Amino acid sequence: MNSAFDTQLQSELDALKAAGTYKHLRHITTPMAPEVHMEEAGDVIVLSSNNYLGLSDQAEVIEAGIEGLRKYGAGTASVRFICGTFDIHRTLEERIATFLGTQASLTYVSCWNANTGLFATVCGEGSAIISDELNHASIIDGVRLASKSKRAVYKHSDMADLEAKLKAAEGCAPILVVTDGVFSMEGSLAKLPEIVALCKKYGAVSIVDDSHGTGVMGKTGRGTIEHFGLTGDVDIITGTLGKALGGAAGGFVAGSHALIDILIQRSRPQLFSNALPATVACSSLAAIDYLDAHPELVDRLRANVAYFREGLTRLGFKPLDGPSAIVPIIVGETATAIAMSDKLLRGGVFVTGFGFPVVPEGTARIRTQLSAALTKDEMDRALAAFETLR
């Protein structure tokens, strides 16, 4: 133990505690569901999970995972190209591609991995990557790894700025433009019709990370691209299996056959890291099948979002507008957001407060996320807890 190093770490932790931004982990002893048991707070209603469709404790999804574990065991104990790849990975990847309307897809152990495995693989010398300033941290880090590429950030959803950055990148090849489909701190959507049109105009490759859109947006839950009627018009889609689609873990890149083949050849997380566990691949496949067979889940989620928004508004809160299942309430100071979420937890509702540096100073918020699995009674009880905040 290096005690000087440990003392330094401890003083950083003390500073976080003094600033009121220290994160406490809460321990759940039951499956993720609209109501869970928490060691620290007892039984609580969850409004902070990405379990948008309630599939994380869905019987078919659990059963498929158990069968997968029996059939395939724990894993191959190696990476895919060295030691073989389970047929279930191919089945899942074909299913994701069909689901999203792309030629092919490739799974990773997380969308974080997918994003960090994508950009550096396809962007060498002479290329350019243009990224929305509010993109997810995994995109930011993934783009950083493409260190040979010319990199630019455009102002959030500012199409004039995106066009200026595209003009500045003229002559580069390829030029990639990347955006979140749903921005997770605001619940707002990327301006995909404009982004796709600008990409076409400048010969750029469009990339949408739809982690918060899959299972939520569009008539059948295929995401933000379906919502805008752009199926087939976006070049590359990345996403997670760890949110609406079963909630365990896993991510993917979906796009053309050539793109997927290059990623198999050269993407570093594919070459040097194990595949998604087979049990997770099996339950993710079951989650997609379940969503396809039950599009009414998406309608139920949308009805719940409308009901909860209306309830909050009636209580005098002003949630940010937006069509996704993320409903944030701006409260200002980070300490206020944390105090509010602590009070809600004592009232039996689990919602996380976000402050600086996750969101800009002065725009701290409590972010609620709805699920199709929430009952009206649960939403009413949650609203009653919000009422005590006024």
Ligand X SMILES: *Cc1c(COP(=O)(O)O)cnc(C)c1O
3-state DSSP call for residue 178? Answer: strand
**What are the structure tokens assigned to 54, written together?**
């309630």
By the rule CB under 6 A, 211 interacts with ligand X: yes
Residues in a beta bridge with 107: 252
Whether the bond between 357 and the residue before it is cis, its omega within 30 degrees of 0, is: yes
Smallest gap from Cβ 329 to ligand X, in A, equals 19
Shortest distance, position 39 Cβ to ligand X, whole Å = 23
Are the CB atoms for 210 and 182 separated by under 8 Å?
yes
Catalytic residue among 89, 136, 165, 212: 212
Q: Which of 105, 184, 211, 284 is catalytic?
A: 184
Q: Residues 103-142: x/- map of binding to ligand X (CB under 6 A)? A: -------xxx-----------------------x-x----
Closest alpha carbon to 179 in 235, 243, 96, 263:
235
Short-list 134, 139, 146, CA closest to 112: 139
Q: What is the DSSP letter of 180?
A: E
Give residue for tokens 């019987």: 59
Q: Applying CB under 6 A, which part among 15-23, 208-216, 291-299, 301-309 lies near ligand X?
A: 208-216
Q: What minimum distance in Å lies between the beta carbon of 59 and ligand X? A: 23
Which residue type, as a one-letter code, is found at position 41?
A: A
How many amino acids of this chain bind ligand X (CB under 6 A)?
Answer: 13
Active site residue 212: yes
- Count of C-beta atoms within a 10 Å radius of residue 249: 18
Does residue 102 touch ligand X according to CB under 6 A? Answer: no
Which of 48, 149, 184, 304 binds ligand X (CB under 6 A)? It is: 184
**Per-residue string for binding with ligand X, 224-243, x by CB under 6 A?**
----------------x-x-
Residue 252 binds ligand X (CB under 6 A): no
Site membership for ligand X, residue 251 (CB under 6 A): yes
Is the CB of residue 250 less than 8 Å from the CB of residue 99?
Answer: no
Active site residues: 184, 212, 243
